[in-house]
Amino acid sequence: MKEMKSNKNKIVYAAISISLVMVACTKPVEQLPILGQRTVSGTDTIYHTIAPFQFVDQDSALVNNATFKDKIYVADFFFTSCRTICPIMKTQMLRVYEATREMPDVLLLSHSIDPEFDTVALLHDFAARLDVTSDRWHFVTGVKDSIYKIAQTSYYATALEDKTEPDGFIHSGAFLLIDKQGRIRGKYDGTKEEDVNRLIADIKRLRQEKQINQ
Amino acid sequence: MRYTAIAGVVFIGLLSCQTRDPKFQQYFVEGEQLYLNNCSNCHHKDGKGLGRIYPPIAGSDYLGRPEAEIICLIKYGIRGEIVVNGTMYHQPMPGVPLLTELEIAEITTYIFNTWGQERGMITIPKVSAALDSCRRN
């Protein structure tokens, strides 16, 4: 009798654990990860966010953190005279631009890592020739060191001058997805179509996310 | 009967291979690879370019210019304004100076025989003569 009872208990426990697993597996939409270092102070977790910045876009407008207040945005680093990965990145970013056409809370931010050559006028022409406008896609130039610093310390993207490289720069082809709180929520290879498909899907997911963990 | 049918198919297959010179085929195939490695970043796999930044090669009226000019710009690049299909482009194109005469012959054979073009093989002597006309010191 005692043995039977313990068997019954085992079955109950098994049933509970199975249902717990099932509940966990059917959790509706999983949140995107929050990338970067985090610090815990008391009961609060402080996430890595994009540091303050200020650059100038293709229409000579100031672009800073306030430009992206309550906006999701995708950031990358490129330069107009680059013949290696940038043309592919721009083709892929153009796909993101098209895919987010009906999303007023989604913006794009392309930083030039050759800001002395890529003047406002040159970026203006470049954007115009892609048929894109600065209300949704900012091409920015500014102080070179500030752009390199924000690339490396805020976006965790590589951007360096290197005279030994064919084009004179080392840089990653990464696209970074930034949420409305300035946190990095995804990193994608901007030279790969499938990775950019994942980015487009993640933008939709991020827009669905309730603004928790503020 | 069955064997006759098989033999017939094989014969037709052989015939269709013969329509193109094997050397042409080799240039074309190598040229496609070289195009993908050296040109397609900007001009794209399908040759359509990007916006009004990188001009198209597919369906481009620029291919109507002298072949020597096109051979030279692949090797040495081109700067300044050009007009392609009525649109002005001015993004400088860097040349690819490391390309050999054979490689340029292969690339031009590829672009002159794809996207609706059928201009036959571009030979090494042709490339050589073209480069002599624009060689830089």
How many cross-chain Cβ pairs, A to B, lie less than 8 Å apart?
31
CB burial string A121-159: b at 16+ within 10 A, e below: ebbbbbbebbebebebbbbbbbeeeebbebbeebbbbbb
Beta strands in B35-99 (DSSP E): 77-78, 82-84, 87-89, 93-94
ipTM of this model? 0.76
Contact A94 B92 (CB under 8 A): no
Reported as a single tens digit per residue, the pLDDT across A198-207 is 999 999 999 9
At residue A173, the pLDDT reads 92
- With 50 as the cut, is the pLDDT of residue A43 above it? yes
Closest CB from A83, A94, A129 relative to B94: A83
Q: What is the mean pLDDT of residues B6-24?
A: 65
Contacts of B92 in chain A (CB under 8 A): 81
Closest CB from A84, A90, A129 relative to B52: A129
- With 60 as the cut, is the pLDDT of residue A4 above it? no
Whole-number mean pLDDT of chain B? 90
Contact A129 B51 (CB under 8 A): yes
- Give the least confident one: A28-37, A120-129, A153-162, A204-213: A204-213
How far, in Å, are A51, A79, A115, A127, A171 from residue A161 at the CA level? Answer: 22, 12, 12, 24, 9
The distance of B57 to chain A (nearest Cα, Å) reads 16
Confidence of residue A72 (pLDDT cuts 50, 70, 90): very high
Q: What is the pTM of this model?
A: 0.80
Closest CB from B41, B51, B54 relative to A131: B51
- SS3 letters for A132-183? CCCCCEEEEECCHHHHHHHHHHHCCCCEEECCCCCCCEEECCEEEEECCCCE
- With 80 as the cut, is the pLDDT of residue A23 above it? no
**Cα(A33)–Cα(A185) distance, rounded to whole angstroms?**
6
At residue A6, the pLDDT reads 61
Q: What is the mean pLDDT of residues A35-63?
A: 94
The distance of A165 to chain B (nearest Cα, Å) reads 14
